[in-house]
């Protein structure tokens, strides 16, 4: 009987390729179904983002309107092509979420072995905070996207004896676009600080060919010059890039507390769009193991960067509590470190026994099932039924599109947002009622205060509280 060689079996030989294909298909299908299965409602931030994006003009760079410009341009195109719907508002985040997931996989695969990077990628891209970012129609995802892209490009430069000038050029371009995203100026300074702090990185920079260094220098100087000119002409821009709107220095530590609350709260007794706990206990435990494992050889660039990124994430959370989602990036690195530590300890017990390594797949599969499946269920059902977060989302837009064709819609709040609907459906949006407008009148989240119209119907939403969202009126006597 022919002896079976495990290493030559098809499933074993191509196990990582098959795993990445399954992960990719599942990830793509899940992301594009997010607006249906979970966050179908819209938050105030999403409506504000859609309104601001729709107002974006072609001469926005000349007018100083540069903050989050790439994201807002994508969102405007999406709304113009698909109309104002929850899906069109969230589509830019879904697309960027796909790119971010790919970058995280590439980054982890660059720094860790294939088995570790595949397992860590599954845990991170299918986690609640990542799915929230990819399903939220706001530019918040960009504060994770740009640093991840820069770290991956940096790893392509650092890990080569003769780095390709193209990667250096792309790094400079990405850094140029990133500084026009809120808080990314701090990240650019963090990168400079980290390079000077790390002896190995200082050596890498000194050994770079002159052409890549010159390209980076020219682009960075050009970007800083454009930023300075923009700030001179539009002083509010720098405040929006450095701090949250209406930020006060006295709020710094309270913002950090508000940002950390979803990480450690199990009841979610606070007003936030984040579902608590934002990070599940098993993933948090893996990250702690990873943090512990990096204490040995801490000053290696890959080991220390996760800890420094956590500090950076806490600093920008002091400016905006929602920026706590930045911790997805260092968390993914620490989770990979934790998995690497656990697998090395397991393989160390059976260094010459391949069957023990295969047997490890059983408890690992159970562990990953326990982590991933409850996280997905928590995300899907939590945003629909958890009262702490469900009340932060409004389900008005789909009902307005479905029920109010040919009506006059009176909107007292978010008037500019609903005004966009006039371009894609037969609807007249007004902010006040004149004489004789009772026929076909619909009032969003309000009633007729004049007493001149007759109530004909109340349209409700699936929410338990404040479910009566649209009041339909006719002329009295009709």
CA distances from 71 to 52, 136, 331, 470 (A): 11, 12, 24, 32
Quick: pLDDT tens for 85-98: 888 898 899 899 88
Structural domain includes residue 179? yes
Is there a contact between 320 and 182 (Cβ–Cβ < 8 Å)? yes
Q: Residue 145: its pLDDT value, please? A: 92
Q: Which residues contact 379 (CB under 8 A, 6 or more apart)?
A: 38, 128, 131, 132, 275
- Do both 444 and 297 map to the same domain? no
Which among 362, 390, 418 is the end of a domain? Answer: 390
Structural domain includes residue 160? yes
- Confidence tier at 351 by pLDDT (50, 70, 90): low
Quick: pLDDT tens for 20-32: 677 777 777 777 7
Q: Residue 308: its pLDDT value, please? A: 81
Least confident of 254-263, 338-347, 458-467: 458-467
- Do both 224 and 243 map to the same domain? yes
Secondary element (H or E) of residue 229: helix 210-233
Structural domain includes residue 3? no
Tally of structural domains, the chain = 2
- Confidence tier at 40 by pLDDT (50, 70, 90): low
String of DSSP letters for 113-141: -HHHHHHHHHHHHTSHHHHHHHT--SGGG
Among left, alpha and beta (phi > 0; psi -120 to 50; other), residue 440 is: left
- Confidence tier at 1 by pLDDT (50, 70, 90): very low
Structural domain includes residue 382? yes
Six-digit token string for 299: 């000053």
- Do both 358 and 431 map to the same domain? no
Structural domain includes residue 8? no
Cβ neighbourhood burial of 233 (10 Å; 0-12, 13-18, 19+): exposed
Q: Residue 74: its pLDDT value, please? A: 92
Which among 345, 363, 390 is the end of a domain? Answer: 390
Q: Residue 301: its pLDDT value, please? A: 57
CA distances from 173 to 21, 217, 410 (A): 30, 11, 45
- Do both 172 and 126 map to the same domain? yes
- Do both 192 and 219 map to the same domain? yes
Cβ-based neighbour number of residue 454 at 10 Å: 15
**What is the Cα 361 distance to its own chain's centre?**
31
- Do both 287 and 270 map to the same domain? yes
Calculate what percentage of the chain has a pLDDT beyond 90: 4
Is there a contact between 143 and 316 (Cβ–Cβ < 8 Å)? yes
Q: How many CA atoms lie less than 13 Å away from 253 in the CB half-sphere?
A: 1
Q: Is the pLDDT of residue 207 over 70?
A: no
State the Cα–Cα distance between residues 355 and 358, nearest whole angstrom: 5
- Do both 202 and 349 map to the same domain? yes
- Do both 290 and 327 map to the same domain? yes
Which among 365, 390, 415 is the end of a domain? Answer: 390
State the Cα–Cα distance between residues 247 and 319, nearest whole angstrom: 7
State the Cα–Cα distance between residues 346 and 356, nearest whole angstrom: 9
State the Cα–Cα distance between residues 93 and 90, nearest whole angstrom: 6
Mean pLDDT of the chain: 78
Considering only residues 61 and 323, tell me which one the structure prediction assigns the higher pLDDT: 323
Q: Which residues contact 413 (CB under 8 A, 6 or more apart)?
A: 444, 445
State the Cα–Cα distance between residues 380 and 383, nearest whole angstrom: 6
State the Cα–Cα distance between residues 269 and 173, nearest whole angstrom: 42
Q: Is the pLDDT of residue 226 over 60?
A: yes
Quick: pLDDT tens for 49-59: 999 988 888 77
Nearest to 245 by CA among 42, 41, 39, 52: 52
Residue labelled with tokens 């391949």 = 354
- Confidence tier at 325 by pLDDT (50, 70, 90): confident
What is the residue range of 440's domain? 396-475
Q: Residue 169: its pLDDT value, please? A: 76
- Do both 304 and 420 map to the same domain? no
Q: Is the pLDDT of residue 212 over 70?
A: no
Q: Residue 225: its pLDDT value, please? A: 75
Residue 472: strand pairing partners: 442, 457
Q: Residue 146: its pLDDT value, please? A: 92
Edge-to-edge strand order for the sheet containing 468-475? 428-430, 408-411, 441-444, 468-475, 453-460
Cβ neighbourhood burial of 96 (10 Å; 0-12, 13-18, 19+): buried
- Do both 70 and 159 map to the same domain? yes
Nearest to 283 by CA among 122, 63, 157: 122
- Do both 414 and 267 map to the same domain? no
- For the segment 162-190, the average pLDDT, to the nearest whole number, is 80
Is there a contact between 421 and 54 (Cβ–Cβ < 8 Å)? no
- Do both 365 and 421 map to the same domain? no
Q: Residue 289: its pLDDT value, please? A: 85
Least confident of 157-166, 222-231, 462-471: 157-166
Structural domain includes residue 71? yes
Considering only residues 208 and 170, tell me which one the structure prediction assigns the higher pLDDT: 170
What φ, ψ does residue 271 adopt, rounded to 5°? Answer: -85, 110
Instruction: Quote the pTM value.
Output: 0.84
Q: Residue 375: its pLDDT value, please? A: 80
Structural domain includes residue 182? yes
Structural domain includes residue 5? no
Considering only residues 264 and 105, tell me which one the structure prediction assigns the higher pLDDT: 105
Quick: pLDDT tens for 106-164: 888 888 887 788 788 888 888 888 888 888 889 999 999 999 998 888 877 766 666 67
Least confident of 202-206, 251-255, 457-461: 202-206
């Amino acid at each position: 009987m022919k002896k079976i060689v495990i290493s030559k079996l098809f499933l074993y030989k191509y196990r990582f390729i098959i795993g990445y294909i399954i992960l990719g298909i599942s990830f793509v299908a899940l992301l594009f179904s997010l607006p249906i299965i979970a966050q179908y409602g819209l938050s105030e931030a999403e409506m504000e983002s859609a309104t601001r994006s729709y107002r974006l003009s072609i001469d926005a760079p000349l007018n100083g309107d540069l903050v989050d410009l790439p994201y807002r341009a994508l969102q405007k195109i999406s709304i113009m092509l698909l109309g104002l719907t929850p899906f069109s508002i969230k589509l830019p985040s879904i697309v960027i979420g796909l790119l971010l997931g790919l970058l995280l996989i590439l980054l982890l695969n660059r720094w860790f072995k294939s088995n570790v990077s595949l397992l860590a990628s599954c845990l991170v891209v299918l986690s609640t905070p990542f799915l929230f970012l990819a399903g939220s129609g706001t530019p918040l995802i960009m504060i994770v996207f740009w640093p991840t892209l820069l770290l991956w490009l940096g790893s392509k430069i650092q890990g080569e004896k003769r780095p390709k000038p193209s990667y250096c050029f792309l790094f400079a371009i990405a850094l140029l676009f990133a500084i026009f995203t809120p808080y990314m100026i701090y990240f650019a300074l963090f990168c400079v600080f980290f390079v000077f702090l790390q002896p190995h990185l200082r050596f890498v920079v000194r050994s770079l060919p002159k052409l890549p260094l010159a390209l980076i220098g020219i682009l960075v100087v050009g970007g800083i010059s454009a930023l300075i000119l923009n700030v001179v002409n539009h002083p509010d821009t720098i405040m929006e890039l450095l701090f949250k709107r209406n930020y006060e220095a006295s709020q710094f530590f309270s913002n950090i507390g508000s940002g950390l609350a979803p990480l450690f709260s199990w009841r979610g007794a606070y007003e936030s769009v984040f579902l608590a706990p934002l990070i599940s206990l098993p993933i948090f435990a893996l990250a702690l193991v990873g943090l512990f494992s990096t204490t040995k050889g801490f000053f290696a660039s890959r080991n220390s960067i996760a800890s420094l990124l956590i500090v950076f994430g806490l600093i920008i959370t002091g400016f905006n509590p929602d920026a706590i989602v930045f911790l997805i990036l260092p968390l993914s690195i620490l989770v990979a470190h934790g998995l690497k530590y656990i697998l090395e300890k397991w393989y160390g017990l059976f260094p010459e026994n391949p069957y023990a390594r295969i047997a490890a797949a059983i408890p690992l599969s159970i562990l990953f099932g326990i982590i991933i499946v409850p996280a997905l269920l928590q995300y899907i059902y939590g945003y629909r039924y958890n009262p702490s977060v469900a009340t932060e989302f409004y389900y008005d837009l789909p009902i307005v599109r479905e029920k109010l064709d040919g009506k006059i819609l009176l909107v007292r709040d978010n008037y500019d947002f609903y005004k966009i609907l006039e371009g894609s459906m037969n609807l007249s949006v007004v902010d006040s009622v004149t004489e004789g407008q009772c026929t076909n009148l619909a009032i969003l989240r309000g009633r007729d205060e004049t007493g001149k119209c007759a109530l004909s119907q109340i349209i409700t939403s699936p929410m338990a509280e404040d479910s009566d969202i649209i009041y339909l009126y006719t002329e009295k006597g009709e």
